[in-house]
Structure 1
C-alpha cells in the first residue's frame, strides 16, 4: 500500500511521524548525510569522549588512537549500512523493527532508544551550558535551559531544517576545531606518554585498551538506531542500489573522519591534564585568549548540531513505542525531559557520562546483531513468539558478567580485569548466534510471497 502524504503543520512543521514515506514525498541528496554526521560529531561531547581514552584509562596518545580508530571503524561501517535501510523501507529506524521484533517486542528497544535520545540531549546540553556560562556568565542551569529552547525549536520543525542546519554548521565547526587542533598539536606535540598507575588500576594495558574501546564504541553505536531517520526521504524505486551505495559511502566517511579526528584531539588534550570532572576543564590554560571566545561559540553551535538530531530521533522512538502524540508535541516533550535531566547531572558530568556510554552499548550491540540478520536473511522463528526479541533479551542478559563500570562490575570483568569491558563483543556474538539457533530458513512459498 502506498503511504499517503502527511500535511505539514502551518506548511512548515513536519508531521510525518513514523509513517512510511511515499514516493511522492521523496527528496534530498544522499550526499547530504556526510555533512549531517560530520556536524553531529565535530562538537564538544566527542572531544570529551576522546579525553576519557587517556585521562580516565591512562593510555598513551598513540595507544588511545589505536583504540579510537578500531572502535570508530566498526561503528562507521555499521552506521553506513544501517543508513541504507531508510532507502529500503522509507521509515524511521526503530519502527522498522516491528516487522522482526513484533509490534509489542519492538516497544522495548524503542523505549531504550528514546531514553538514549533524551540522555544524549542532556549530555550535550550540559557541555554547551558550561561553554555558554563562560561566555555570558548566566549560571549553568539557566544556560542549559536557554540552549534547550533553541534546540527544541529546530527539531520541532523537522527533517528538512535539520539537514539545512547541519549543512551550514559543519563549516563553522570544522574551522573552529581545525584551529584547536593546530594549537593543541603545537603546544603538546604528539608524544604523550601512558600513565602506569592509572593503567594498573584498569587491569593493565589490555584492560585499559578494552575499556577505552568500549567507551568509543558506545559513543559511535549510539547513532545507529537513528540512522534511517535521516535517509527515509531518499526512498526510491529508481536505481535504489546506486542511492544506497552513495548513502553508505558518505555516512561512513562523515562518521569516521569526524569521530577519529575529534576523539583523537580529545585524547591528546586529556593526556595533558591529571583529571577532569566537567567539560570546561578541557579548556586548558594554554589555549590563547583570542581563541577562547570563538571556540566557545563553536562549542555552543556544536551542541545544537548534535542535539537537534537527538531530539528528532528520540521523538521517532517514542512514537514507535506507541505513544499517540503529534510529532511536534512529542519533540517538545522529549526536549523538556532532556533539559530536566541536564539540570540534574550538570554537577557530576564525567562519571554520569562514562556510565551512560557503556550502558548505551550494552543494549545496542546485540540489537544491531539481531537487526542485521533480520534484514539480510530470510528466516522464520522456531518459537511461537519473535525469535529476534528473545535472542536480543538473551544476549543482553548473557553479557551481564562482562559489564565493567562504576554502577556494576560483572563476575567475569571483576576476576579478569585484563579483558576490560568486552561486553560489546560478547553481546554481539550471543545475539547473532541465538537468532540463528532460534530461527530456520523460511519455506520457499513464504519467501516467494515476500
Structure 2
C-alpha cells in the first residue's frame, strides 16, 4: 500500500504511562509515535458496539424481510462500508495527521471547510442521540432528571477527550472485554428464547427492502471514515499498512455485523422493537435481573463513543478555524473547546422534543450524503493519484502548493452531490431512481463513483500529479 518517505524511519520506542495529550492538528513527531496496529481492533470494536448500531438492523424486518435476508443484506453492506473506512485508517501512520485536515490537499486550506462543517454536524448529531439513549437506559433503574444525566454523561465524555488519545484507546480496549461478555449472553438468550419471523404481517422478499437494509448498513459504516486516522496517527510510520487496515476492518465490521444481526433477529420476533426495553425484557427472561444489568453496562460504551466524537469534533473545528486565522491551542484551549462542544450537545439534547428521535436517522442520512463524496475524493487522491506522497508543511501554509481553494476537489464534490439527487429517498422526497426502486436509497453508490471519477479526470492532467516521492518535511510545531 502507498506511503511516503516516513516508512523508512525507525520506529519510535513505546511510551509508558498515560499522559495528557498536547497535540491537536499538527503532525505527530516521530519520537512521540507509539502503539501497535492490533490496538485499532478493540478500539473500533467498542466504538461500533453501541445500541445505535443495533437499531440499524431493525430496518429489514420492518420492511418485510425475513431475519436471514436482513442479515445477508447487513453482511454485504457492512463489508462494503467498512472497507472504505479501513482504507482511511492507513493514512494516519503515514502522515501523522488527523483525518480531516488531510482534506486540505484535495480542497485547499479554505475549500476544505465545506466538508469540515458537515463533519462537525455529524459529531454533534451522533452525540445528541447517544446521550439521550444512555440516559434512557440509566433512568430505567436510577432516579434523576434527563437534564441531570445529560450533564453528567457529557461531562465524563469531555474529561476523557481532554486527556486525549491514549486514554480513549485504553477505555475502548477494556470495554471490549465487558461488552463481549455481556452481549454474548444476551445473544445466547436471543437465540434460545426468540422465534424469528413471528411478528411480520407478511414475509415477502423485495429487492427494495433488501437494498434499503444494505444501504443503511453500508452508510452507517462509511460515516466512521471521517475520523479513523485521528486514532491511528500516533502509530509509528513503519507500522504495516495491511495490519492497520486489517485490524480496523475486523474491529469495526465484527461489532457491526454482530449488533445489527442481533437487531434484525429482535425486530423479527418482538412487536414494536426498541433497543433498551426489548433487550432488558429479553435479558430478564433469560436470567432475572440480567437484562437490567446488561442495559446499564451498555452505557459506558455510549459514553466512550461520545468522548471519541467530542475529540474528533475538536480536531475538525480547529482545522476549520486555522484556515482563516492562526491558532495553536494548549491544554487550556483544548479543554475550553471540548467544553463548548459538550455544552452544544447538552443544549441540543435538552431542546429536542421526544418525537424528534423518530426522525433522527433522517438527519444522519442527510449527513451521509455530504460525507460520501469527500471519502471518494480523499481515497482517490491518496491511493491513486499522489500515492501517499504529500508535502505536509503545505497543508498549513496559505501560500503553499495546495492553495486556499483547490477547484478540482470542490467541483468533484459538488458533482458527486448532483449525481446522488436522482437516487435520494429522504423524508418523503424521492428521486426518479429511488421511486423505481420502491424507495430504496442507494445514493451513496453514484455519489462515491462520480466524485472519484470526476476528481481523477480533473486532476490527472495537472503538472506534478502524481508527484515524485518527497523526503518528509515536518510542519512547524505550535
Counterpart position of 1:392: 413
- Distance in 2 (alpha carbons) for counterparts of 1:87 and 1:72: 24
User: 2: CA distance between counterparts of 1:284 and 1:211?
Assistant: 28
State TM-score, norm by structure 2.
0.83
- Structure 1 residues 146-155 or 409-418, which shifts more? 409-418
The corresponding residue for 2:276 is 280
Q: CA deviation at 1:219?
A: 1.4
Change (3 A) 1:25 1:346: farther
Are the aligned partners of 1:173 and 1:301 in contact in 2 as well (CA < 8 Å)? no
Distance 1:68 1:346, change over 3 A: farther
Secondary structure, counterpart of 1:27 in structure 2: coil
Partner of 1:212: 213
Q: In the alignment, which residue of structure 2 is the partner of 1:113?
A: 119
Give 1:316-335 correspondences, 5 Å limit.
Answer: 316-322=315-321, 324=327, 326-335=333-342
**1:417 Cα deviation (Å)?**
3.7
Q: Which moved more, 1:71-80 or 1:178-187?
A: 71-80
1:44 Cα offset (Å): 1.3
Pick from 61, 75, 81 the counterpart of residue 69 of structure 1: 75
Tell which deviates more after alignment, 112-121 or 209-218: 209-218
Instruction: Give the deviation of 1:446 after TM superposition.
Output: 7.4
Distance change in 2, residues 1:176/1:137 (3 Å): same
- Conserved? CA contact 2:197–2:269, under 8 Å: no
Q: Are residues 1:180 and 2:177 paired?
A: no
CA deviation profile, 1:400-435 (whole Å, cap 9, x unmatched): 2321122x5233156314361010111111112211
Residues 1:294 and 2:290 aligned together: no
Measure, in 2, the Cα distance between the counterparts of 1:228 and 1:445: 24
Residue aligning to 1:315: 314
SS of 1:234 mapped into structure 2: coil
Aligned to 2:447: 427
Per the TM alignment, residue 87 of structure 1 is displaced from its structure 2 partner at its CA by 0.9
After superposition, the Cα gap between the structure-2 partners of 1:284 and 1:446, relative to the gap in structure 1 and judged at 3 Å, is closer
Rounded to whole Å, the distance in 2 between the matches of 1:336 and 1:367 is: 28
Contact between 2:157 and 2:303, CA under 8 Å: does it hold in 1?
A: yes
Gaps of 5+ in 2: 7-17, 387-400, 471-478
> Secondary structure of the residue that 2:52 maps to in structure 1?
helix
Q: Judging changes above 3 Å, is the alpha-carbon distance between structure 1 residues 446 and 359 closer, same or farther for their aligned structure 2 residues?
A: closer
In the alignment, the residues of structure 1 paired with residue 300 and residue 465 of structure 2 have an alpha-carbon distance, to the nearest angstrom, of 54
1:12-59 deviation line (CA, Å, top 9, x unaligned): 43231101111011111111000101111222111122223323x332
- Gaps (5+ residues) in structure 1? 3-10
Counterparts of 2:447 and 2:464, CA distance in 1: 31
Question: In 2 relative to 1, CA 341–191 (structure 1 residues): closer, same or farther, beyond 3 Å?
Answer: same
More displaced 10-residue stretch of structure 1: 353-362 or 93-102: 353-362
Check whether the contact 2:86–2:246 (CA below 8 A) recurs between aligned residues: yes
Bigger Cα displacement from structure 2, 209-218 vs 116-125: 209-218
Per the alignment, do residues 348 and 113 of structure 1 end up closer, same or farther by CA in structure 2, a change over 3 Å counting?
A: same
Distance 1:62 1:449, change over 3 A: closer
**Distance in 1, Cα, partners of 2:372 & 2:283:** 38
Q: Give the aligned partner of residue 359 of structure 2.
A: 352
Determine the C-alpha separation between the residues in 1 that align with 2:79 and 2:109.
Answer: 32
Deviation at 1:272, TM superposition (A): 2.3
Partner of 1:265: 262
2:151 is aligned with 1:154: no
Q: 1:358 to 1:25 in 2, by over 3 A?
A: same
Matches within 5 A, 1:4-403: 12-55=19-62, 57-190=63-196, 195-196=201-202, 205-236=206-237, 240=238, 242-276=239-273, 279-283=275-279, 285-288=281-284, 289-322=288-321, 324=327, 326-345=333-352, 347-348=354-355, 350-378=357-385, 385-403=406-424
Contact 2:408 2:458 in 1 (8 A): yes
**Larger mean Cα displacement after TM superposition, 33-42 or 344-353:** 344-353
CA contact (8 A) 1:101 1:389 kept: yes
Structure 2: how far apart are the matches of 1:83 and 1:69? 21
Change (3 A) 1:449 1:255: closer
Counting matched residue pairs gives 428
- Does structure 2 retain, via aligned residues, the 8 Å contact 1:129–1:141? no
Whether contact under 8 Å (1:61, 1:194) holds in the other structure is no
Q: Which moved more, 1:23-32 or 1:411-420?
A: 411-420
Quickly say closer, same or farther: Cα 1:59–1:194, change in 2 above 3 A. Answer: farther
CA–CA separation in structure 1 for the residues paired with 2:150 and 2:201 = 34
- Provide the rounded CA distance (Å) in 2 between the counterparts of 1:444 and 1:99: 13
Given that 2:199 and 2:269 are in contact with CA atoms closer than 8 Å, whether structure 1 keeps it comes out as no
Counterpart contact for 1:18–1:319, Cα < 8 Å: yes
CA distance in 1, matches of 2:56, 2:352: 17
Superposition CA RMSD, Å: 2.6
